[in-house]
Structure 1
Amino acid sequence: MSIEALLEQHPDLRHFLYIRGFLVTSHPGISPEGFPFFGAWKHTELNGVHVWAHPLTGFHFVSDSHRTCFLLGHAYNPFTMQTDEQQLLEPLLEHYGTDDFYDHVDQLTGIFLLGIIEDSQLTFLVDPAGMQSACHGLVDGHFHLASHPQMVADLHGLQMDAFVTRLIEYKWYRRVMGGYLPAALTPFSELKRVVPNHAYVTSFTDGTTEHRRFYPIKELAEVASRSEYEDIIAEAAKILQSNMELVTRKWPEPWISLTGGIDSNTTFAAANGVYDKVRAFSYLSAPKEVPDCEAAEKIARRFGVPWRVFRIPEDTSGLDRFDEKAAIIRHNNGYVALENDNELRKRVALEADCPAEVEIKSWVSETIRAYWYKHYGRRTMPALSAKLFRNLYKIFILNRGLAHEIDQVFAEYIDEFEYAAVPRQYPPADLHFNEVTWGSWGGLNISEMKFCFDITIIYNNRRFLDLMFKVPLEKRISDQHHLDIKRYLNPELSDMGIRVVNLKETRFRAFALNVLFTINSILPGGRAWS
């Protein structure tokens, strides 16, 4: 059964289709009625550009005599302590076209797409790690900028790209972070993913879109003394603490997703001072998650934060219309995530049972924790190359033909998105994790999680990331900087000594993966960049 037919039979499920999504387009002929908007989406015309927003999508804009600045999603500023998007947009509108514009952009935390319409062109960008997924392209002679590629496909009858079809059928496609597409690919050749830290400019006159990197482009000086390091830790901790305070101002009762891991521990520490304004939750979907739940309960109880555990059913029999809701989730993702039933049961169960309006998630933290180095048990990484990016993406040891095709995809991507110009203090492996893994896999998954509730991430701030990239790599690999931030924010929590090690971080697993990584690096591949 098609999704359109399914939603005709279950009209009360229509709001789940592209939930919290958006479409920005020059196309004047999009119908508000019927599939996929069903007359429920908000429509606004700005300077001849049509903005369609799901009823739960935040949409804000300010205008002057010749331009409009808008934001889809949410943002807050830990330096000015502002949570109102209208106020946040005003300096961006004022400074657009000047050197100060990106300084203001870099202050923002949140999950968002930012756009500026001036004359016959649109400038747009996404949050630092691409947690707001977005794609762009020229379809039916008109520009489209959408949260979900499948939405554009539904509107214009696009078919999945043949290469993508072959890739997702590869038997190891779901290994290494799960199913997601490499580089800037989407399921459809007509659309490309919006890569974080690049400003895109689209001309409505000739239909062209260009982009340039605006971050990271400035050299950073690595900390050279203990006092410098302590200052960095204090400054970074204060950004997280300010972000957490802003979250409690923006939402009446935000929920922290809490485990025994270092990321959510540090997030919980950042709430020190506002523990009376937050709640915490964990979910239990497999026996391996019991230690995390026990640790979360102990932490929450110690600091008086209300905590709940949501037990995910082992089968779908008790979940209302699971098959129908799972079909919508798969459709929203464009059929490339290939989630297992356990992940889908989590989404459906949490949507039904968890009353949270917003989850405070601890993602993006891994960017500055040198995730790929830990994952593969390495102290160093090879130089920037298409082969490196392919090896970090998936394992292709037994399919060299597909490996070479992925090399070509990444070779073009590395050139197009200016990775060779990135300062040395931002290692290629970390940039890959932030802009490819987070930007593609992460954005896809955040969009999926919005099926349950809204998501915010206090680490998703470029100034915070810059501070952490000043820390020596060995401290980032060891997580010493994270532990020091947690101690700064909440010494008592630090003294509890709670840390549940992710099964993916065990030494033996890292050793085995490093063997595969090394073999993959030795086998023939793409060219290197100097």
Structure 2
Amino acid sequence: MMKDILEIAEKNPQYRHLLFSRGFLFTDAAVDATAFPFYGTWKEIGVCNYQLLVHPELNCYIAATSDITAVLIGHVYNPFDGLYNEKEILEKYLEAQDRLSYYNEWTGLFTLIVISDDRVEVFGDCAGMQSNWYACINAHFYLSSHAQLIGDICRLPQTDYAKKMQHYRFWKMYGVFFPGDISQFEDVFRLVPNHILSLSCAEHTCKLTRFYPFRDLEKVTSKEEYDRVISKIAEILHETMRLISEKWDHPSISMTGGMDSKTTLACANGLYDQFRYYSYISMYGDKPDADAAAKIADAIGVEHKTYVISENNEDFADLPIIRSILEHNLGDIGSVNDNDVRKRLYFLNTGAVSLEVKSWVSEIGRANYYKKFGFRKMPHRLSARQMTTMYKFFSYNRLSAHKTDKIFREYIQKTAFDAIYNFDASDMYLWEMRYGGWGGLKITAEHRISYDITIPYNNRLLMELFLRLPLEKRIADIPHYDVIRKMNPMIDRLGITVTNYNETERRMHCERIYYLVNTHLPF
């Protein structure tokens, strides 16, 4: 695998910039910035006693006081104080009496590194949409946006578990990613959302500490309180869209007929002339969303573009090369779908989008697993076997199921998953495991190869507001409907909602049967 990607990079220098696109590496090891995969094009910055290498299309900012240095990699804006300049935000962070509380206000895709004399602390964005992978190898610390980048630098082999899973019949079902916080390498781990990674400089040991949640949720119990929370959610999202419109030239809202996209669009009301609007059709399943998006755009009076992407691989030059690069960025842990490769190439070649406003993370507030299994009640706390069942479809492969159970038992202990107060365990699994694991990998290693992405919902305090709302309303998507009605009732009156073609009632019943059977099997 490593030999193949090295050969591709040597023979095709025009594509080297796609290797770990918009990625970074932070380490105390001596790394050759002129060699693969950097080739002298990444920004090289000395920070205290560390080397920081940053892809040319990713920004970083550094500020310091007398006792700490803060490094911000990626982009940040704050809908609670109206700031969108990272230098100003970083300076305010250093001046804050309660730095953690101020950090919790941030939206964006970012990594925050705080360096003191004896310790390095690392914080990710709300849902881990910019991935962070870390390792202590041969008395050196490595932190990167891509696990594979650490693997390449340290010449790490994949684990037997990783190799076995990739040959499992249902490996691609529910997405290609690993359980818990593990990677394809023995010593490389994922920084889980809502945790601080602490490195002891003297001992070269890493520790993961949960910092959120730190108290019980204040559940909404009255209509008056419900209306206030809906108004606050709408206010935060509208301010978020305003900041996006000021921070970037020509940001593009990716539109579908789904609930999350419609809520984003509604909250941009009053700012519609500041955005572009688009959908794409890269396979048959995309067309209902694209058609619905066009109808919604027409109704609210914005210009909408549907990009129709050829389904013929031969229409794209060097597609096998781009596929290999994408698969390597993702960790060489599985193939990328043809339509996804074509999609990335199409937007790379046309430059039609410079920044996508993407409506991911919103699902955390929509009681996703209650819908998936058709339940009205989920366990107060999740067992390792329940997490295994929610992670992947294991039928006859019981040895892999047992190994995955073991990984999740360690994950529950390592992340203090049982110490989540009165937060719904399935919501937190979606937030920290599904989005932090699969979602962050897809955004960081695949989607951002074509253009940069921002996610308005990727804000911890905003997600908390959604989770305060009554469960039965969240299962029925009523909060999202209410935000849409409040911000742009025209969108609601259209009555357009496109459900993912995987989310049918028949599939829900099958998922529920599997969940009930697999979680109760004694073997």
TM-score by length of 1: 0.96
Query: Are the counterparts in 2 of residues 181 and 336 from structure 1 also a CA contact under 8 Å?
Result: no
- Provide the rounded CA distance (Å) in 2 between the counterparts of 1:3 and 1:244: 39
Give runs of aligned pairs for residues 118-517 of structure 1, distance below 5 A: 118-176=116-174, 178-382=175-379, 383-424=381-422, 426-447=423-444, 448-517=446-515
Q: Which amino acid aligns with 1:88?
A: I
Q: State the shift of 1:384 in Å.
A: 1.8
Query: Are the counterparts in 1 of residues 61 and 86 from structure 2 also a CA contact under 8 Å?
Result: yes
Among candidates 14, 17, 20, match of residue 18 of structure 1: 20
Q: Which amino acid aligns with 1:73?
A: G
- Provide the rounded CA distance (Å) in 2 between the counterparts of 1:153 and 1:466: 35
Residue aligned with 2:166, SS: helix
- Provide the rounded CA distance (Å) in 1 between the counterparts of 2:347 and 2:376: 38
Q: Which amino acid aligns with 1:65?
A: S
Q: State the shift of 1:9 in Å.
A: 1.1
Spell out, residue by residue over 1:323-343, the C-alpha distance to the aligned partner (whole angstroms, 9 max, x if none).
Answer: 111110001111125322222
Aligned to 2:55: 54
Residue aligned with 2:394, SS: coil
- Provide the rounded CA distance (Å) in 1 between the counterparts of 2:141 and 2:499: 46
- Provide the rounded CA distance (Å) in 1 between the counterparts of 2:396 and 2:177: 19
- Provide the rounded CA distance (Å) in 2 between the counterparts of 1:60 and 1:355: 28
- Provide the rounded CA distance (Å) in 2 between the counterparts of 1:133 and 1:306: 33
- Provide the rounded CA distance (Å) in 2 between the counterparts of 1:379 and 1:217: 26
Query: Are the counterparts in 1 of residues 252 and 275 from structure 2 also a CA contact under 8 Å?
Result: yes
Q: State the shift of 1:66 in Å.
A: 2.2
Q: Which amino acid aligns with 2:33?
A: P
Q: Which amino acid aligns with 1:38?
A: Y
Query: Are the counterparts in 2 of residues 254 and 279 from structure 1 also a CA contact under 8 Å?
Result: yes
Q: State the shift of 1:370 in Å.
A: 1.0
Q: State the shift of 1:70 in Å.
A: 1.3
Aligned to 2:37: 36
- Provide the rounded CA distance (Å) in 2 between the counterparts of 1:121 and 1:221: 34
Query: Are the counterparts in 2 of residues 179 and 339 from structure 1 also a CA contact under 8 Å?
Result: no
- Provide the rounded CA distance (Å) in 2 between the counterparts of 1:416 and 1:135: 15
Q: Which amino acid aligns with 2:348?
A: E
- Provide the rounded CA distance (Å) in 2 between the counterparts of 1:324 and 1:207: 38
- Provide the rounded CA distance (Å) in 2 between the counterparts of 1:156 and 1:508: 46
Q: Which amino acid aligns with 2:310?
A: P
Q: State the shift of 1:167 in Å.
A: 1.5
- Provide the rounded CA distance (Å) in 2 between the counterparts of 1:287 and 1:239: 35
Residue aligned with 2:313, SS: coil
- Provide the rounded CA distance (Å) in 1 between the counterparts of 2:335 and 2:425: 27
- Provide the rounded CA distance (Å) in 1 between the counterparts of 2:249 and 2:301: 18
Q: Which amino acid aligns with 1:497?
A: G
Q: Which amino acid aligns with 1:4?
A: L
Q: State the shift of 1:289 in Å.
A: 2.2
Q: Compare 110-119 and 161-170 and name the one that shifted more.
A: 161-170
Residue aligned with 1:404, SS: helix
Unaligned runs of 5+ in 2: none
Residue aligned with 2:315, SS: coil
Aligned to 2:82: 81
Residue aligned with 1:326, SS: helix
Spell out, residue by residue over 1:354-412, the C-alpha distance to the aligned partner (whole angstroms, 9 max, x if none).
Answer: 42111000100111111111112221223421111111101112111111111110011
- Provide the rounded CA distance (Å) in 2 between the counterparts of 1:327 and 1:182: 24
- Provide the rounded CA distance (Å) in 1 between the counterparts of 2:515 and 2:434: 17
- Provide the rounded CA distance (Å) in 2 between the counterparts of 1:452 and 1:279: 17
Q: State the shift of 1:211 in Å.
A: 2.0
TM-score by length of 2: 0.97
Query: Are the counterparts in 1 of residues 78 and 84 from structure 2 also a CA contact under 8 Å?
Result: yes
Aligned to 1:70: 71
The root-mean-square deviation of aligned C-alpha atoms, in Å, is: 1.3
- Provide the rounded CA distance (Å) in 2 between the counterparts of 1:130 and 1:231: 28
- Provide the rounded CA distance (Å) in 1 between the counterparts of 2:273 and 2:104: 30
- Provide the rounded CA distance (Å) in 1 between the counterparts of 2:230 and 2:426: 23
Q: State the shift of 1:62 in Å.
A: 0.8
Identity across the alignment (%): 37
Query: Are the counterparts in 2 of residues 23 and 145 from structure 1 also a CA contact under 8 Å?
Result: yes
Q: Compare 143-152 and 495-504 and name the one that shifted more.
A: 495-504
Q: State the shift of 1:514 in Å.
A: 0.8
Query: Are the counterparts in 1 of residues 355 and 453 from structure 2 also a CA contact under 8 Å?
Result: yes
- Provide the rounded CA distance (Å) in 2 between the counterparts of 1:14 and 1:40: 9
Query: Are the counterparts in 2 of residues 375 and 504 from structure 1 also a CA contact under 8 Å?
Result: no
Q: Compare 207-216 and 380-389 and name the one that shifted more.
A: 380-389
Spell out, residue by residue over 1:111-145, the C-alpha distance to the aligned partner (whole angstroms, 9 max, x if none).
Answer: 11111011132101101111011100112321000
Residue aligned with 2:7, SS: helix
- Provide the rounded CA distance (Å) in 2 between the counterparts of 1:85 and 1:519: 49
Count of aligned residue pairs for this structure pair = 519
Spell out, residue by residue over 1:404-460, the C-alpha distance to the aligned partner (whole angstroms, 9 max, x if none).
Answer: 111110011001101111011x21111111111111100110011001100100001
- Provide the rounded CA distance (Å) in 2 between the counterparts of 1:210 and 1:287: 46
Unaligned runs of 5+ in 1: 526-530
Q: Which amino acid aligns with 2:299?
A: R
Q: Which amino acid aligns with 2:335?
A: L
Residue aligned with 2:207, SS: strand
